[in-house]
Structure 1
Amino acid sequence: MSKLRRREALWFYLFASPWIVGFLVFLLGPMVASIYLSLTDWDSFTPPKWVGLQNYVKLLTDDPAFWKALWNTCYYAAISVPLGLVIGLWLANLLNKQVRARKVFRTLIYLPTLVPLVATAMIFKMVLAPSGPFNKMLGAIGIPGPSWLLDPTWVKPALILLSVWGAGSATVLLLAAMKGIPRELYEAAEVDGAGAVRQFWSITVPHLTPIIFFNLVMGLIGAFQVFSQVYILTKAQAGAYNASQTMVPLLFDQAFSYYHMGYASAISWLLFAVILVFTLLAFRTTRRWVFYETEVK
């Protein structure tokens, strides 16, 4: 390497060193340690005791709480992620119209994503109370409102309803992608006699599929890691908490309530495997429905 290339490489590693050190110390190091701890029985106070694959075997064969939490997590992800995508696409299409005060509406729709999740959960806890505003609104039209956060039957729909609150981030990305679609395509479709609905499904949606795919993957990862909503809204109610308990709250309880650190580490790696499987499945389907304008097939 020349003197100039060596100097450039030195400056590169100098500026990248904070990220490299942070990755090695705060991410890669704990990941490697958690792999080892998942093979041990450790309470965080005494030295770890090697148990091999016993934690994994117990989780998969002799722990109904794990399978219940996994089912609740899959249920939550299977409904909240598609629902968020549909609502985000609908809102983006509405905000793309030439209407008055559309900048104000865009701000209002994105504003909920800026509110801290804890504050949002506390607001929903008041809104979804048995005598809260939402049930009063339902009662005004003759529908008796359920005890959303107290009834094990309704607690998961309540959490899914809360997830819709954050659809603004997906809306902004989809709206930005809509602005990048060439206007000439719509003009050509109008000349051919295509209506607004046909233009939406044949032009708008295909051009938005990369953003939809991005939102799908990020939504799946976020849905499988849901924690704060479950813990804040349902922890005080044992029945509702058990009915809505997902993987991360289960991991948290095992680690910091019962001090089963090795068992919790095993749960975390099984959760990682589940997320990886669903993410790979999403990537395997991209060639069938994701359209990239510059890609030649």
Structure 2
Amino acid sequence: MSENSGTAVLDPPVTEPQAAPVRRKRKRHKHNLAGYGFLAPWLIGLFAFTLIPMVYSLYLSLTKFNLLTAPQWIGVENYTRLFSDERYLQSIKVTLLYVVTSVPLKLAAALLVAVALNRGLKALGFYRATFYLPSLLGASVAVSVMWRQIFSRDGLVNQFLGLFGIQGADWIGDPRYAMWTLVLLSGWQFGTPMLIFLAGLKQLPQDLYEAAAIDGAGRFTVFFKITLPLLSPMVFFNLVLETINAFQTFTPAYVISNGLGGPIDSTLLYTLYLYLKGFGSMQMGYASAMAWVLFAVIGLFTAVYFWSARRWVNYAD
């Protein structure tokens, strides 16, 4: 109400044009609440199982903690101890060797098979499923045990070599060869990047290949001048993904080396040594520091990949 010359006058009612924005705002607010409701399970999982454990592990990396007593604050001592730990330095060497050998091998095998399957083979679905099956099984305990039996002293590899009178080596027990069995296992499971490459090959413009055929370009010229540059976004994606996965490899090294990283620490991958320190020696603070260093290294590799991508990754306009 308002007062004018001593007379009380009622305020004018809210008109329809004035009420419309209010109703739209309320409707938008209800839609937002519905969206947050659907996101709630993911948000709860993100905070409960990812962000909060990460922050807590960062705190533990600055403490001395054996899982049985309360953490004791020691600052950056765990991080300074890392570079005086000979087994830790050995795990870095082993892991870097594994990454720089297994990732190119897997991507090369995936691209080679994808190009072969893209040539219009009959029963393409069967071959695609067959090559993808090892990746579907994953680096599980069962697959790792099978791989260990294949490359053991009396395994299938040495039995096959024996048919030709060749004395096979102790592939698992010899430090010269043990790491390469892990690399071969990783290369054998190329199904996931193969499917990504195959999907990319299906999208390449055929007019470029027709023009190259008219010009008389050979297969290698077509592959390196047309196919590979056009597939560079898929190569980049697979490179980042497989590098991260390679740094996180644990199960094959654990199973093949009986959880010890042998022989002579030749298969002591970073994650395996982290597990041995955290749950074998009950040094959870030290293991947390190792985990954060691994996180930083993976982030550094990823950043370098993205920085270099502008030089060799070609995105179609």
Category of TM-score, reference length = shorter chain: over 0.9
- Paired residues of 1:230 and 1:241 also in contact (CA < 8 A): no
Larger CA Rg, structure 1 vs 2: 2
1:274-289 to structure 2, matched below 5 A, reads 274-289=297-312
Superposed CA offset, 1:206-249 (max 9, x none): 11111111111111111111100000111266642622111111
1:192 deviates by: 2.0
The structure 1 residue matched to 2:131, chosen from 105, 109, 123, is 109
Is the counterpart of residue 87 in structure 1 residue 109 in structure 2?
A: yes
Is the counterpart of residue 57 in structure 1 residue 80 in structure 2?
A: yes
Match of 1:128 in 2: 151
1:143 deviates by: 4.0
Instruction: From the superposition, tell whether residues 65 and 200 of structure 1 become closer, same or farther in structure 2 (CA, over 3 Å).
Output: same
Count of residue pairs the alignment pairs up: 293
Match of 2:43 in 1: 20
What secondary structure sits across from 1:56 in the alignment? Answer: helix
Q: Distance in 1 between matches of 2:167 and 2:26?
A: 77
1:112 deviates by: 1.2
Is the counterpart of residue 148 in structure 1 residue 171 in structure 2?
A: yes
Is the counterpart of residue 163 in structure 1 residue 175 in structure 2?
A: no
What secondary structure sits across from 1:244 in the alignment? Answer: coil
Instruction: From the superposition, tell whether residues 17 and 241 of structure 1 become closer, same or farther in structure 2 (CA, over 3 Å).
Output: farther
1:136 deviates by: 2.2
What TM-score, normalized by structure 1, do the two folds share?
Answer: 0.95
Q: Distance in 2 between matches of 1:239 and 1:24?
A: 37
Q: Distance in 2 between matches of 1:227 and 1:241?
A: 17
- Paired residues of 1:235 and 1:241 also in contact (CA < 8 A): no
Match of 2:19 in 1: none
Instruction: From the superposition, tell whether residues 7 and 215 of structure 1 become closer, same or farther in structure 2 (CA, over 3 Å).
Output: same
Superposed CA offset, 1:71-106 (max 9, x none): 100000000001111111100011111222232211
Amino acid of the structure 2 residue aligned with 1:139: G
Report the aligned-residue RMSD: 1.5
Q: Distance in 1 between matches of 2:315 and 2:167?
A: 48
Gaps in structure 1 of 5+ consecutive residues: none
Is the counterpart of residue 67 in structure 1 residue 89 in structure 2?
A: yes
- Paired residues of 2:253 and 2:267 also in contact (CA < 8 A): yes
- Paired residues of 2:253 and 2:259 also in contact (CA < 8 A): no
Match of 1:219 in 2: 242
Instruction: From the superposition, tell whether residues 26 and 239 of structure 1 become closer, same or farther in structure 2 (CA, over 3 Å).
Output: closer
Q: Distance in 2 between matches of 1:237 and 1:18?
A: 39
The structure 2 residue matched to 1:266, chosen from 279, 289, 297, is 289
Match of 2:4 in 1: none
Amino acid of the structure 1 residue aligned with 2:74: V
Match of 1:207 in 2: 230
Amino acid of the structure 2 residue aligned with 1:256: F
Structure 1 window deviating more from structure 2 (219-228 vs 93-102): it is 93-102
Structure 1 window deviating more from structure 2 (195-204 vs 259-268): it is 195-204
Q: Distance in 1 between matches of 2:267 and 2:185?
A: 13
Superposed CA offset, 1:96-153 (max 9, x none): 1122223221111011112252221111111111121112223334543211111111
- Paired residues of 1:139 and 1:145 also in contact (CA < 8 A): yes
Superposed CA offset, 1:5-58 (max 9, x none): 101111111101111111011100000001110000011111111100000001
Instruction: From the superposition, tell whether residues 28 and 235 of structure 1 become closer, same or farther in structure 2 (CA, over 3 Å).
Output: same
Q: Distance in 2 between matches of 1:118 and 1:265?
A: 24
1:191 deviates by: 1.8
Q: Distance in 2 between matches of 1:88 and 1:142?
A: 33
